[in-house]
Chains A and B, each alone.
Chain A
């Protein structure tokens, strides 16, 4: 097992290297002069020259890449043009927001999706089964940026139940430790902040959970159906075990392997794909940050953010692979 983990980890190196090359070359996709694109047409010759120097654009390509890489391995992504802050500092500040949102979304998606899938499988062809499968078909096709807006109209503007956007009301004070506001408010015993943070989290997390929820429901159903057809399930039923024991202990346990894989993969996608949800709900996460860098033509920041998100995405996929091999001893580690 440890050899498998090691090998899987080593296989990351070429991938991450490839990502860095791709991210590096992106700046050369820009038609014309990147410095002029970033600063605008009316920029002075002096400041253009300075930026070109800062970005190393005057050097030959391989030197540029060398500089990019040597900074990268030292964890230095340069400075954001807009704020003149270090890109790494800005990213570290915003990453917890994305993690909190994605975690909440994947929890909702897993809970609701698996439950719906299990009930559908145990009552195949019932009304519930049809309904939940229709809903999940709609769910996978959902433009979540639209769903978010519709939820906002209904729950914030009309009913006034949930806050429109952001992570915390401005008048709430919260001592931050992990920067996951829900966790922090529990750790500090700040119950007003906890309620406020959860209230802010509900709508964006639900919006983001739609697609994974639908996918998890479908995979749980089909995997459960597969397992429930097996002989040992019939044996368990014949022994007179209660349906709940049969479904959960004998059925679900064996149906979990594909479900776990899908949950892991979806979590990875959420971490990077939360851009739309974060934008709609003004959630101060990494996706929102990258998008604002795009709008500001701060290509340096876009490169840094993309590099980081892609690396995290690959890391999560690796963890999923390892978990998969761990829960499924039938897969020969090779």
Chain B
């Protein structure tokens, strides 16, 4: 079922060339006019290019040490050289190459963590909303309990018990965000379930899974897309925080948070080792937040703050 703009009464334009547009297409058009979202998209694209083509973009191997070139300043400082445009760390590793490779890890963290929370959150929310009763009660109480912890604390504690590593950090961050998705999906399922079209589909013999996935879930796509985008931002931020605390990616992995932790020890001697990894975290998180905000405005005006 597609509602075309021309079918709607009122201010529908009468131009003969007016094509029928799906709601999705309309949303994309609105999105293109949203400067904030476009800025976010540009930033994200830059990071994706960096992540995908790291070996070609980066001038050096991110792990290659050169003890003669320890703590070189960036090129615009008095002693800087073009060999190391953003300077080097205390092992003589090229900072620029390391932050470029770092985008790979952060994007990966985003994908894995968001996939975990999206999958389990959608599943939990759909089951809770669809079956209701005691199932709903148990699942949503569990979600409430997860929400009863400040998310970064819960992530830290989970990693503390599982053991510090990038994989466990991704799992912890994914688990912590499950309730956000579950709540969105459960809400939509409850709202849609009683509607006539779902009941008619059921009367026609549609199975539960078909009802949920084909009929009900598409209705909560808009808020889910927004939440997923914002979820990338918080996953990247939280993973960097965990690595900064030594609970995520371990050295010598070129992860931004871990690089910051290393730079912290050099704070008196090498400001660049502290500055640039942080700028990368900020920009990547900002990109996803901008796009998420723009998507919220474009896809679902009801969701505006």
Measured CB to CB, the residues of A under 8 A from B are 14-15, 18-19, 21-22, 26-27, 29-31, 137-138, 140-143, 145-147, 149-150, 152-153, 157, 218-219, 222, 268-269, 271-273, 275-276, 279-280, 287, 290-291, 294-295, 299, 302, 306, 309-310, 313-314
Are B274 and A149 neighbours in the complex by a CB distance under 8 Å?
Answer: yes
Contact of B150 among A22, A142, A291, A313 (CB under 8 A): A313
Contact of B152 among A30, A138, A276 (CB under 8 A): A276
Residue of A nearest to B277 (CB): A146
Measured CB to CB, the residues of B under 8 A from A are 36, 141-142, 144-146, 148-153, 156-158, 160-163, 233, 237, 240-241, 244-247, 257, 260, 263-264, 267-268, 271, 274-275, 277-278, 281-282, 285-286, 289-290, 293, 304-305
Please give me the 7 A-B residue pairs with the lowest Cβ-Cβ distance, nearest first.
A272-B150, A146-B278, A18-B145, A29-B161, A141-B286, A141-B285, A294-B160
Residue of B nearest to A147 (CB): B278
Are B237 and A143 neighbours in the complex by a CB distance under 8 Å?
Answer: yes
Residue of A nearest to B246 (CB): A295
Given contacts A29-B162, A140-B289, A143-B241, contact A273 B153 (CB under 8 A): yes
Contact of B286 among A138, A145, A157 (CB under 8 A): A138
Residues of B within 8 Å of A149, CB to CB, are 260, 263-264, 267, 274, 278
A19 to B260 Cα, complex, angstroms: 33
Are A143 and B240 neighbours in the complex by a CB distance under 8 Å?
Answer: yes
Given contacts A149-B260, A149-B278, contact A141 B149 (CB under 8 A): no
Are A272 and B149 neighbours in the complex by a CB distance under 8 Å?
Answer: yes
Which of B145, B237, B293 has the most A CB atoms < 10 Å from its CB? Answer: B145
CB distance from B226 to the nearest CB of A (A): 15
Contact of A142 among B267, B277, B282, B304 (CB under 8 A): B282
Residue of B nearest to A145 (CB): B244
Residues of A within 8 Å of B237, CB to CB, are 141, 143
Contact of A150 among B148, B152, B278 (CB under 8 A): B278
Residue of B nearest to A157 (CB): B268
Are A273 and B286 neighbours in the complex by a CB distance under 8 Å?
Answer: no
Residue of B nearest to A30 (CB): B161
A269 to B268 Cα, complex, angstroms: 32
Given contacts A15-B145, A31-B162, A279-B245, contact A218 B150 (CB under 8 A): no
Given contacts A149-B278, A294-B160, contact A143 B285 (CB under 8 A): yes
A22 to B157 Cα, complex, angstroms: 11
Which of A29, A143, A273 has the most B CB atoms < 10 Å from its CB? Answer: A143
